[in-house]
């Protein structure tokens, strides 16, 4: 066991600053401020090395769907570790957990999705479908269909393909991205960019940018369109109702693959097994990760529809792609146990019928505050949009400061939330109780009132 006694921990901050480079962090500032050291988790709470308790309104990083400290997972992992800690799925072999997990995942997808390709993460999942889509079109006798259309402010991971597909300018600036063949259209962010249009008019306008981009590139050159059903890292941007049906119509009419990035939206977060089911669309490919194992061990994958899967199996021959840890038996065992818990505890139904609506009511109660422009929520995925003048949808000049002011106040009062610019993001574990939702709303209200007193 690592020594996590207070004495040992007192040194961890210095060791972290000296040796550990963190993702998406300004290391000079972080080292000066010091990292928070999280030691323990139980249910919806995490505890730092000073014993301070935080309600985790963000489920780790959108992933701890079943909450912390579930011994069933630890035991399933231990059993599999003892039985077979590793074997690959490359050279004509497989392992029981990998097979059973692929079957279990597809049992919750639509009837057209019957296969899974395993990866180690959501980024690898995006790299995987990227290659798969091009291989598919090659096998279909249309090798020029290579371009991928994605969205500005979308997020699809940090690998070269993932970061290229994502529409974050500040990521593209580091490392000459996007790579050739990736194109972006605008996001359906009505509050910030909808102007005078109604939500539905704006949703249609944004969806039709896809058609315009296909025309610009030439239908014979476009392989796929990718989007998160609800844009997560970009700010929990729930598109207008008109958006997804129009996107699906265009993909079908123009014969391009529809890819739904389910890395956040999957496994109950939206009150459905997958986010695309909430919007009633059927993707051809769907990257998954996070809630697949509730983050207990790293595992991801791509759900593959019969349209693509049958061609891969019948026509392609070798698909020259894979990872040492594709279908890792211990990660798969953790994921299988996680999915058993989600099924047995009816967590998807719970989000849809009980705790999702309860969160909606709580968030709605915040709309009386002058700083709250709007609330957007589906299941247990939600955003509070900050506003300087809610009557005119005027946003704060310094959006980052507005969000960080709320976030830091909440953190000091024991609630972890995320701020993407001037949107406060919520994504708690699916097991959160009514009392914990009340606590989350209460601390958030205080954070919002504080920010208004400083910035309003």
Tally: H helices and E strands in the chain: 19, 15
* CB of 158 vs ligand PLP, minimal distance in Å: 6
Q: Say if residue 25 is preceded by a cis peptide, omega within 30 of 0.
A: no
For residues 279 and 396, which CB has a smaller minimum distance to ligand PLP in the complex? 279
Do 301 and 125 form a contact (C-beta atoms < 8 A)? yes
For residues 155 and 296, which CB has a smaller minimum distance to ligand PLP in the complex? 155
Strand pairing report for 300-305 and 257-260: unpaired
For residues 250 and 292, which CB has a smaller minimum distance to ligand PLP in the complex? 292
Tokens 């506003």, located at residue: 387
Strand pairing report for 53-56 and 415-416: parallel
* CB of 61 vs ligand PLP, minimal distance in Å: 6
Measured between alpha carbons, how far is 416 from 61 in angstroms, rounded to an integer?
11
Q: Which residue is nearest to ligand PLP (CB)?
A: 122
Q: Give the residue among 194, 195, 172 at the shortest CA–CA distance from 183.
A: 172
For residues 283 and 373, which CB has a smaller minimum distance to ligand PLP in the complex? 283
* CB of 166 vs ligand PLP, minimal distance in Å: 8
Using a 10 angstrom Cβ sphere, with 0-12 exposed, 13-18 middle and 19 or more buried, the burial of residue 361 is exposed
Task: Write the DSSP symbol of residue 353.
Answer: I
Q: What are the φ/ψ torsions at residue 109 (nearest 5 degrees)?
A: -90, 175
What residue ranges bind ligand PLP (CB under 6 A)? 121-123, 126, 155-157, 228, 232-233, 261, 263-264, 289, 300
Measured between alpha carbons, how far is 361 from 356 in angstroms, rounded to an integer?
9
* CB of 169 vs ligand PLP, minimal distance in Å: 17
* CB of 126 vs ligand PLP, minimal distance in Å: 6
For residues 376 and 405, which CB has a smaller minimum distance to ligand PLP in the complex? 376
Question: Other CB atoms closer than 10 Å to residue 210's CB: what's the count?
Answer: 22
* CB of 242 vs ligand PLP, minimal distance in Å: 22
């Amino acid at each position: 066991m690592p020594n996590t006694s207070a004495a040992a921990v007192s040194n961890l901050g210095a060791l972290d600053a000296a040796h550990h480079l963190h993702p998406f962090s300004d290391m000079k500032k972080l080292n000066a401020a010091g990292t928070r050291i999280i030691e323990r988790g139980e249910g919806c709470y995490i505890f730092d090395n000073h014993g301070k308790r935080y309600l985790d309104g963000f489920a780790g990083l959108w992933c701890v769907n079943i909450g912390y400290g579930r011994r069933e997972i630890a035991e399933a992992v231990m059993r599999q570790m003892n039985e077979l800690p590793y074997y690959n799925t490359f050279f004509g072999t497989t392992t029981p957990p990998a097979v059973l997990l692929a079957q279990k995942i597809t049992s919750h997808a639509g009837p057209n999705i019957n296969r899974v390709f395993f990866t180690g993460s959501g980024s690898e999942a995006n790299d995987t479908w990227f290659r798969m889509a091009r291989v598919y079109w090659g096998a279909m006798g249309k090798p020029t269909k290579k371009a991928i259309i994605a969205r500005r402010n979308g997020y699809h991971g940090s690998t070269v393909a993932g970061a290229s597909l994502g529409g974050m300018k500040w990521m593209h600036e580091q490392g000459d991205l996007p790579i050739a063949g990736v194109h972006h259209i605008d996001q359906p962010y009505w509050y910030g960019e909808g102007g005078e249009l109604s939500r539905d008019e704006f949703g249609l306008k944004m969806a039709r940018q896809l058609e315009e981009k296909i025309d610009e590139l030439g239908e014979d050159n476009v392989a796929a369109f990718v989007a998160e059903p609800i844009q997560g890292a970009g700010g929990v941007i729930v598109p207008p109702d008109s958006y997804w049906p129009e996107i699906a119509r265009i993909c079908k009419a123009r014969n391009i693959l529809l890819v739904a990035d389910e890395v956040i939206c999957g496994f109950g977060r939206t009150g459905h097994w997958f986010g695309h089911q909430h919007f009633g669309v059927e993707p051809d490919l769907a990257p998954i990760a996070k809630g697949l194992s509730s983050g207990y061990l790293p595992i991801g994958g791509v759900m593959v529809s019969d349209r693509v899967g049958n061609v891969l199996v019948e026509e392609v021959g070798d698909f020259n792609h894979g990872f040492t840890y594709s279908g890792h038996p211990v990660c798969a065992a953790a994921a299988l146990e996680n999915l058993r818990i989600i099924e047995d505890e009816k967590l998807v139904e719970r989000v849809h019928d009980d705790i999702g609506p309860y969160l909606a009511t709580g968030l709605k109660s915040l709309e009386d505050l002058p700083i709250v422009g709007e609330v957007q929520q589906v299941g247990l995925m939600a955003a509070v949009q900050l506003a300087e003048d809610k009557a005119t949808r005027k946003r704060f000049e310094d959006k980052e400061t507005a969000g960080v002011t709320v976030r830091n106040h909440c953190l000091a009062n024991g609630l972890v939330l995320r701020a993407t610019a001037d949107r406060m993001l919520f994504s708690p574990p699916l097991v959160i109780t009514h009392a914990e939702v009340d606590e989350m709303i209460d601390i958030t209200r205080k954070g919002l009132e504080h920010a208004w007193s400083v910035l309003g």
